[in-house]
Each structure stands twice: as C-alpha cells, then as structure tokens.
Structure 1
Amino acid sequence: MDCFAGATIPKPFDIGIPFYSVENVTANDFEHTKFITKAEHTLLSARIKIEKGDILMTRIGSIGECKYIDWEPEASFYVSLALLKCNNKVDSRYISYYSNSEQFKKELELRSLFYAIPQKINLGSISEIIICIPSKSEQTAIAKVLSSMDKEIESLNKKLSKYRALKTAMMQQLLTGKIRLG
C-alpha cells in the first residue's frame, strides 16, 4: 500500500474542482467542498491523482478516519489527508473497513506524534502500520458482508427518519387539539 500526502491549501474558490479536506472525510460529505481552479488541480494531480478504489485517510486532527472512494472523482486533496493506493493483492474496501478496527486504531496511536496539537501522523508512519491481511478472496468476502450491512443500516436509518417525522407531525396535530382522540 502506498501513501501520498495532499497539497497545502491553494486559494479556495466558490466553483471549480473539488478540494477535499478532513471535514469532508469525517462528515462523509463530498458534495459540499472547497474548490480550486482547473489549473491548480492539473498541477496537483500531475504528482498524484485520486482514483476510484483509493482511500482517503485523515492524518491531522481526527486521525485514521478513512473513506473508500467508490466513485470516479475529479478532485484534489489537502495535506491533512493521506491518499492510500492498494496493490492488486489487497482489496481497498477491506482496508477501509479494517481502519475501523481496534487493532488499526492501536497501531495508529503507537505511530502518531504524541505531542503534536492537533494530533498528527506522518506518511512514513502510516506505511509502517501492521495490518492483518487474509487472502484476497477472504478480504473481498469480508468487505462484501460489511458493505451489505452498511446498506441495511442506511435503509433502517431512512425508515427511522420517516417515523420521527411522522411522530413530530402527529404530536403537532394531537397536542394543538387539531385532532382529538376519543
């Protein structure tokens, strides 16, 4: 697995090419981003380019949060993120899920800069993290099961949101006397 750092922040714009930061990864929101010019993006992506199947990992502030890139991005990223590129022996979705494990968090903590404020981990230290890697087929199977569970959780959360909205509307009707119960 190779690790790459992003760029320091160029002058942001209201429109242009998305420029991802820690906030985008931690909020899992890649719609509301800062933007840079096409020229700046071309310059930054000549060194390293975010591609579908890569992982963005926070390395400053809230370290170790990962986002698997499951879309075709045209974007650059800030220096507070590391871009993880996996070789063909590793399923990057597996690595993304593994990053939530206790073992990964312990490895991350051992290699982070203890006295840095905010918390920080260097790129070299990220590449030294020991990861339990089963066979590629098992990695893929694990990632598939966990992905299915994520989809089910998302579906349940949508239902829960609908029921909460229904309850709020019902409370409004009942508590204001618009609807009376016998």
Structure 2
Amino acid sequence: MSNPSSFDSPLNLPEGWHLSRLGNIGRFTKGSGITKADLVETGIPCVRYGELYTNHNYVIKRFHSFINEEVAATSKRIHKGDILFAGSGETAAEIGKCAAYLGNEEAYAGGDIIILRPEKADAAFLGYSLNHETINRQKAKLGQGYSVVHIYPELLKKIVIPLPPLPEQRKIAAILSTWDRAIELLGKQIATKQRLKKAFMQRLLTGKVRFPEFEEDWKEVHLGEILKSRNEKSPQSEQLQLYSLTIEEGVTPKTDRYDREALVKEETIKEYKIVHPYDIVYNPANLRWGAIGINTFDKSVLVSPIYEVLYLRDPKQYIVELIFAILSSPRQITKFSRFGEGTIYERISVKIKDFLSERIIIPRNYNEQHQIAAFLNRVNWEIGTLQEEQRLYRLQKRGLMQKLLTGEVRVRV
C-alpha cells in the first residue's frame, strides 16, 4: 500500500495531526434491501441511500422512512457511531455523500449504502470531515460510471483523511454542530413563516378574507388577457448573466450544483431567453412541482430557452406581484397540472397556450390588488430576511469547516 502522504493533498499538517486511509480507521460493510414497497408509515426507522442526498447532512438527526419487523430481519442494522455513505448517485461530484449516525435507536440501512464503523476516529468529526471538499474530490476521482455513478467499499478504503488527536476531533465537531443548530433553528422559523404565508394566501387570494374598505366584486379573467409571452433571446455577456429557476428560490443566481449538472448541456446552447425585471418565468416540465418564479432583481437576466417567460400587458390595471402570488399558489399549481402533456410522467409539460387559457379571479379594484400584494410582500420580506440570515450562517460554517478540518485554525482542548 502506498504511503498516505503521497495521496493528492494540499495540506501542511499541523503538529499532532496525521494522515490516515479510511481502511485503517474502521471496518466497512454494506446495507441491504429496503425497497420503496417495503416502507410503512410507522415502524422501525431506516435510511435509504437517496435520503443521504436529500434529508441527511453531516449527522442523521431524524428518520424519514420506516419498515416492519419482517423487512428489518433481512436488512442491515446500523449502530451508534456508524458513517453511512451513498454508494450510488447521479454525478461524480456528489458520489459518496455521507452522514454519521449518533443515536441509540434501532435502525437499518438499505441497499446502495456503505457503512463505515470507525474504531480510531470520532464519528461526529468524520460526519463533517468526510463531506469536506478535499475529501469530496477524492471520492469524485474514485467514482465509477457515467449516467449512474457508483463507489464501493474497496475504493472508499483508499481515501486519505487528515486526523487531529481525538480530543481535538470532538471539539471541532462540537463547534460545527453549534452552527448546525443555529441553521436548523432558522429553518424552523422559516417553515413557520411559510405555513402562515400559505394560510394567508388561501384566504386573501380567493376573496374569502378581504380588507374591510373594499366591497366591489372580483372578476374572472383569462391569463392571456393579463400576460403576454416574451421570446427575446441573447447570448451570455457581462450585462446579461445566466440565472437558474429553482422550485425553492425561483429566479436565482446559478449555484455550484446547477453548474455541474448543466455544464454539458450548456455547451451546445448559443442563446438564452431574456427575463426583464418583474417578468414571470415557469418551467413547463416542472410547473406541477411549483417551478415558477419572478425576476425581482433590478436587472435583466438570462434563463434556459426551455423556460417560458411572460410579462404584464397593462401594469396600470394589474399588480404583477399579485398575479405571481396567484400563479404560484398551491391551489393554482394543482389546476395547472391538469394541462400536462406527455407520455412519460417525468416529461409531462404545461404548454404556453394552455397556461394562458387558464382563468383566475382577481379584484377589480386596483387598490385592493395593491393592498393584498403589499401584505404578502411584507410576509415575503420577513421570510427573505430569515433566509438571508440562514445563508450567512451557512457561509460562516463553510469557512469554519475549511479552517478547522484542515488544521489552519487550531482549537483549544
């Protein structure tokens, strides 16, 4: 076996730290079974490999899937201190994402999960360290496959990790978990605000609850009377930058994840659709999941040419923020879903002609439109403020991970 120090690593290790291959700090085993059909609403907790990408970050804090005793009997039990790796994934950049299990509850790991049972390192520390970018680069190089990427125990054993003394490992994990708790608390506050917003929207956007100064009846209109399709295109430039449309954040600057997933596709694209300020954008293929947004930036941006871009025909008659609130409401998204066309479920799309043929109800009175929009904008501002605070905490934590997990900054034990 080659010397771990010969492995690709930019680190100058501080005193007391050493490099170790994963195969030297614990034993590897594999999960087994647990298909989607095996799941029950309540029962014995389990982890499926896809949940390591979607639900578990660094540490497994709560379970999202359950099985019965019969399925558990043929599955692999996990124990406190185990590290669970996703053995399959869509990209090499994300392969092997992992989380530490620190609980005492009886639980099981499904197929395509690789389990490391460490004997010479702190599990919580490993949960953070094994998701650090320097380790992710090693996992990416070891991943095998293209359309589906795999990684195996024999490959994970080769990964080299910098390890401080055990007391320092525990202190680093405790510091990072403090940031995690703050991020999680903000997440709960955001979720509460979003539930309140949903309740407000259900009442205000249907006229069930109205501001007392307005009594005029609402009217029903075709979206085609309010909105018009925009099909302006341009290549990327310093003035027109490429943005993405996400279900969670709407029109937003591209993320690293978007860059990785879209890189190959974008090489063949010469021009993108222009989205001016307060234009509405939706993804025909994912509208049923809520993929609709509004450009609230004070500049025009570019989006994928597969998206539909719309603008307000008469800003003096309608408030675009209210129109968007109606279009993005759960009730309206459900109505759009019935227009879906296509034979493969994942490719069902909502065509622009069907979108614009939909009818909505809206206040006749412009001032009432404005007051509803202003109220919802205040709620959105409160949510956005919390989201920005959470984003800053994540940035701080990312900086801490870089310094603490490489030994650039030492902690007192």
> In the alignment, is residue 32 of structure 1 matched against residue 65 of structure 2?
yes
RMSD over aligned Cα, in angstroms? 2.9
Aligned to 1:56: 84
- The within-5 A match list for 1:6-155 is 6-8=31-33, 12=38, 14=40, 17-28=44-55, 30-35=63-68, 37=70, 41=73, 49-61=77-89, 63-87=95-119, 89-113=120-144, 115=145, 117-155=147-185
What CA deviation, in whole Å up to 9, does each residue of 1:17-58 have, x standing for no partner? 5553212322326232454616x62x655xxx4111111111
Match of 2:27 in 1: 2
CA apart distance, 1:168: 4.0
For residue 122 of structure 1, report the CA deviation from its aligned partner.
1.3
Amino acid at match of 1:161: A
Q: Do the aligned partners of residues 169 and 65 (structure 1) sit closer, same or farther apart at CA in structure 2, a change above 3 Å counting?
A: same
Residue identity matched to 1:136? L
Note the C-alpha offset of 1:162. Answer: 1.9
Q: Structure 1 unaligned runs (5+)?
A: none
CA–CA distance in 1 between the matches of 2:75 and 2:137? 32
How far residue 94 of structure 1 moved from its aligned partner, in angstroms, is 0.7
Residue of structure 1 in register with 2:186 after alignment = 156
Which one has a bigger Cα radius of gyration?
2
Tell me if the contact between 2:82 and 2:117 (Cα under 8 Å) persists in the aligned partners.
yes
Question: In structure 1, what is the Cα distance between the partners aligned to 2:38 and 2:198?
Answer: 40
Contact residue 58 and residue 82 of structure 1 kept, 8 A: yes
Decide whether the 8 Å contact of 1:57 with 1:81 is kept in 2.
yes
**CA–CA distance in 2 between the matches of 1:116 and 1:163?**
41
CA contact (8 A) 2:49 2:111 kept: no
Conserved in 1, the CA contact under 8 Å of 2:31 and 2:111?
A: yes
Distance 1:55 1:4, change over 3 A: same
Structure-2 separation of matches of 1:4 and 1:105:
20
Q: For residue 96 of structure 1, report the CA deviation from its aligned partner.
A: 0.7
Q: Write 1 or 2 for the structure with the bigger share of helix.
A: 1
Once the two structures are TM-superposed, the CA of residue 180 in structure 1 deviates from its matched residue by 4.5
Please say if residues 19 and 36 of structure 1, whose CA atoms lie closer than 8 Å, have aligned partners that are also in contact: no
Aligned length: 175
Say if 1:32 and 1:78 are closer, same or farther in 2 by CA, change over 3 A.
closer
> Residues 134 and 161 from structure 1, CA distance in 2 versus in 1: closer, same or farther, beyond 3 angstroms?
same
User: Percent identical across equivalent pairs?
Assistant: 27
User: Which residue identity does 1:108 align to in structure 2?
Assistant: K
Q: Secondary structure at the match of 1:178?
A: coil
Per-residue deviation, 1:99: 2.0
The Cα offsets for residues 49-96 of structure 1, whole Å up to 9 and x where unpaired, read as: 411111111111252221211222423323300111111x31111111
Could you tell me the TM-score, scaled by structure 2's length? Answer: 0.38
Q: How much does 1:104 deviate?
A: 0.9
Structure 2 Cα separation of the partners of residues 111 and 20 of structure 1:
24
> Cα 1:170–1:179, aligned 2, differ >3 Å: closer, same or farther?
farther
Name the amino acid aligned to 1:66. C
Higher RCO structure, 1 or 2 (CA under 8 Å, sep 6+): 1
Aligned-partner Cα distance in 2 for 1:86–1:110: 23
Q: What is the TM-score of this pair, normalised by structure 1? A: 0.79
Structure 1, 120-129 or 18-27: larger mean CA deviation: 18-27
Contact 1:25 1:67 in 2 (8 A): yes
Once residues 110 and 81 of structure 1 are traced to their aligned partners in structure 2, the CA distance between those partners, rounded to angstroms, is 19
Amino acid at match of 1:32: S
Higher strand share: 2
